[in-house]
Amino acid sequence: MSRNRTIALVVWVVVTAAVFVSAMAFLIVGDYFAEKHRIVMVSIAIAPVALVAAMVGYAVWWLVMFLLTFFLPEERQDEQH
């Protein structure tokens, strides 16, 4: 795997996990739902939150790949020798 793809993949994983954890924390800790309905509402919200987190992570992956293409070009194998 190339250096640019590895960097973009790491950023994708970190952003996706951060968005998912922070959104779920806001749902669990926040006072958006009545106390007895909180578990049910958080259980219903897991899939949409995961979907949004994956979409944000994927968008960031594409953005990082785009920027790295300009600022950190790949070296060719024949140029290394």
Range of the domain at 66: 3-71
Asked if residue 49 is part of any domain, the answer here is yes
39-51 b/e (C-beta count within 10 Å ≥ 16 → b):
eeeeeebeeebee
Asked if residue 31 is part of any domain, the answer here is yes
Query: How many separate domains does the chain show?
Result: 1
Asked if residue 78 is part of any domain, the answer here is no
pLDDT (tens digit per residue) in 17-27: 999 998 888 87
pLDDT (tens digit per residue) in 29-75: 766 555 666 666 677 778 888 999 999 999 999 999 999 888 877 66
- Distance between CA atoms of 63 and 66, rounded to whole angstroms? 5
Residues in the chain: 81
- Distance between CA atoms of 41 and 33, rounded to whole angstroms? 8
